[in-house]
Structure 1
Amino acid sequence: MDSSRDFSGIWIPLVTPFLDGAVDHAGLRRLVTRLAGSGVAGLVLNGSTGEAAALSEAEQLAVLDTACGTLPVIAGISGITPQAVAARLDALRGRDLAGVLLTPPYYVRPSQAGIAEHFRRAADASPAPLLLYDIPARTGVRIETATMLGLAAHPNIAAVKDCSGDLDHAQAVINDGRLQVLAGDDHRLFTTLCQGGVGAICASAHLRPDLFVALHRAVATNDLRTAAALWRRLWPLTKALFAEPNPAPLKAALALLDGLGPDLRAPMTAASPEALASVLAAVEALR
């Protein structure tokens, strides 16, 4: 495996902190510094946990510039038309990226042929290895197994963030062996690793990255007894963090535990006191 195309490990889809309505770059740097010593593989910036849909393109690029340089970085992008995706990819040139994470076209619900062409054109133009982001709950379309295995032949497509919710599909891609599979739903982390996935893009790991890293390491070394014990401890945290729309519970917890601003951009709303209490109880249980 080319080490520059190895996405094994726990990646954290970073929140975007805000202060008085603007991106809090100082807070972002503090968060990156804390996570840099935790053993995580790297960061995913400008994803749904980072509220990318509420950031301007200039803000997204500024977030990349603030966070790059300490840990490997995957940049999240999206777009409906080929021209829009090409423009987003072109704006990334010159930045030191481990990869680019791209969704299918959202809202328009193209055919599988249209989805395949979307990714092939992006892979041709991408300045870093492309990761397919299969998240039908947000885009309205799936990347079907046959489509994904066809895309695996492209030399610049390296991995997939799997939020399909389909264990058979994930297993087929893992068995094929050409694309690395990372869990994209936190509650499926243990299952995906045991299926043969190489890691996860896991928002919950903001709070106890050391334990998530230990879980990944235990599965990778076939210490399933330790891995299962760790997962039983971590599972309540993953459930609590997603009891309300992400990243509201996570940001509320980070505000108390890390001093990070709790603000979200509309239409996101703050976590309820009950949701925050559940997250804090799950964190306390991990001490």
Structure 2
Amino acid sequence: MSLGPFGRTLAAMITPFTDAGRLDLDGAQRLATRLVDEGGCDGLVLSGTTGESPTTSDAEKEALVRAVVEAVGDRAIITAGVGTSDTRHTVELAQAAEKAGAHGLLVVTPYYSRPPQEAVAEHFRDIADAVGLPVMLYDIPGRTGTRIEPETMLRLAEHPRIAGVKDCAYDLLGSSRVLARTSLAYYSGCEELNLPLYAIGGAGYVSTVANVAGPQMRAVLDAHDRGAGAEAARLHQLAIPLVELMMGSGLPGTVTTKALLNALGAPAGPVRPPLRPAGREVTDGLLAAYETLVSSHAAPRGAAVSGG
């Protein structure tokens, strides 16, 4: 097992809010501690999509980094999401995150304006030039409207501070090409691809589901590292029902994650508009799938598992 520049088993952490909708820094520290000390996470990604970055202010983002680094910064690698559609604003957020103590930066492709590939590359170079931290590129064309093409990745890999990729492009062929020709650390950003990407040389994952099922997500990679391929596949398949409910049910992962965390009594709170909370029926289904997954891991292999 090798630890990538941002860790290996990363949670895309939600941002806890109070019932009144304000940033809950105490809750963020408690959740971060839980994810690192009990949840199998050696890295946390703050202020990503799951962290509701579109609806948190610059000051809130900086305060969140400071609070989480204070809570777990010596026991986990803290990566701060700083991506926006504006290069100047992204540079400002990157510099603020660095001053707040972040260990790395997650930078998403500029969205909505759909810049051409050379402009995309220049955007990422400008961010990396402005800071002294390793940068993880976030390739998620389904949300941004723009792909970081493999040839662009190859050029960006030459920058000394561009160190990794959060891969949500659903293109294992393209990812394989870049993995074969660069030292970029590839992290799966889609739970159903955690094991496949890891098996072809990926560094780990950045997982929304790890907010609630970190040990179960980590167990898949641990089994693979032991050389237990069939066991890794079995554990991967056990997680799919919960993954599908949380990430493929038509609701954003932030909504389903906060619903489940709230049901489990963990720090989460409400989502911010335009997101809306999950209903009781959805929450009950999430809780049942979660309990089935946990009990499946607790039961001896081959034993019948009830519930769910």
Same fold, judged at TM 0.5 (above): yes
Equivalent residue of 2:81, what SS?
A: strand
Task: Kindly indicate whether residue 255 of structure 2 is the aligned counterpart of residue 256 of structure 1.
Answer: no
Q: Which residue of 2 aligns with 1:282?
A: 289
Equivalent residue of 1:207, what SS?
A: helix
Which of 183, 186, 189 is the aligned partner of 1:184?
A: 189
Shift in Å at residue 221 of structure 1? Answer: 3.0
- For 1:7 and 1:261, locate their aligned partners in 2 and report how far apart those are by CA, in whole Å: 24
CA contact (8 A) 2:8 2:42 kept: yes
Which of 130, 139, 151 is the aligned partner of 2:135?
A: 130
Shift in Å at residue 104 of structure 1? Answer: 1.4
Q: Which residue of 2 aligns with 1:146?
A: 151
Equivalent residue of 2:271, what SS?
A: coil
CA contact (8 A) 1:187 1:235 kept: yes
- Once the two structures are superposed, the pairs formed by residues 70-109 of structure 1 within 5 Å of their partners are 70=72, 71-109=76-114
Task: Kindly indicate whether residue 170 of structure 2 is the aligned counterpart of residue 165 of structure 1.
Answer: yes
- For 1:93 and 1:29, locate their aligned partners in 2 and report how far apart those are by CA, in whole Å: 19
Task: Kindly indicate whether residue 193 of structure 2 is the aligned counterpart of residue 194 of structure 1.
Answer: no
- For 2:268 and 2:230, locate their aligned partners in 1 and report how far apart those are by CA, in whole Å: 38
Instruction: Name the CA shift for 1:276/1:130 in 2 (closer, same or farther; >3 Å).
Output: same
Whichever residue aligns with residue 264 of structure 1, its letter is V
Equivalent residue of 2:267, what SS?
A: coil
Q: Which residue of 2 aligns with 1:50?
A: 51
TM-score by length of 2: 0.88
Give the alignment's Cα RMSD to 1 decimal: 1.8
Q: How many residues in Structure 1 have an aligned counterpart in Structure 2?
A: 286
Unaligned runs of 5+ in 1: none
Q: Which residue of 1 aligns with 2:246?
A: 241
- For 1:60 and 1:279, locate their aligned partners in 2 and report how far apart those are by CA, in whole Å: 28
Q: Which residue of 2 aligns with 1:63?
A: 64
Percent identity, aligned pairs only, is 35
Task: Kindly indicate whether residue 36 of structure 2 is the aligned counterpart of residue 29 of structure 1.
Answer: no
TM-score by length of 1: 0.94
Q: Deviations over 1:35-57 (max 9, x none)?
A: 12133121000001010110010
Equivalent residue of 1:131, what SS?
A: strand
- For 2:29 and 2:171, locate their aligned partners in 1 and report how far apart those are by CA, in whole Å: 36
Whichever residue aligns with residue 110 of structure 1, its letter is P
Whichever residue aligns with residue 236 of structure 1, its letter is P
Whichever residue aligns with residue 63 of structure 1, its letter is L
Shift in Å at residue 8 of structure 1? Answer: 4.3
Unaligned runs of 5+ in 2: 296-308
CA contact (8 A) 1:100 1:126 kept: no
Whichever residue aligns with residue 28 of structure 1, its letter is A
- For 1:104 and 1:117, locate their aligned partners in 2 and report how far apart those are by CA, in whole Å: 11
Q: Deviations over 1:164-213 (max 9, x none)?
A: 01121111122224101000112221221122211000010111211212
Shift in Å at residue 17 of structure 1? Answer: 1.1
- For 2:37 and 2:267, locate their aligned partners in 1 and report how far apart those are by CA, in whole Å: 18
Shift in Å at residue 32 of structure 1? Answer: 1.3
Q: Deviations over 1:115-172 (max 9, x none)?
A: 0111111111123101100011111100001001111111111000000011211111
- For 2:181 and 2:279, locate their aligned partners in 1 and report how far apart those are by CA, in whole Å: 43
- For 1:76 and 1:138, locate their aligned partners in 2 and report how far apart those are by CA, in whole Å: 15
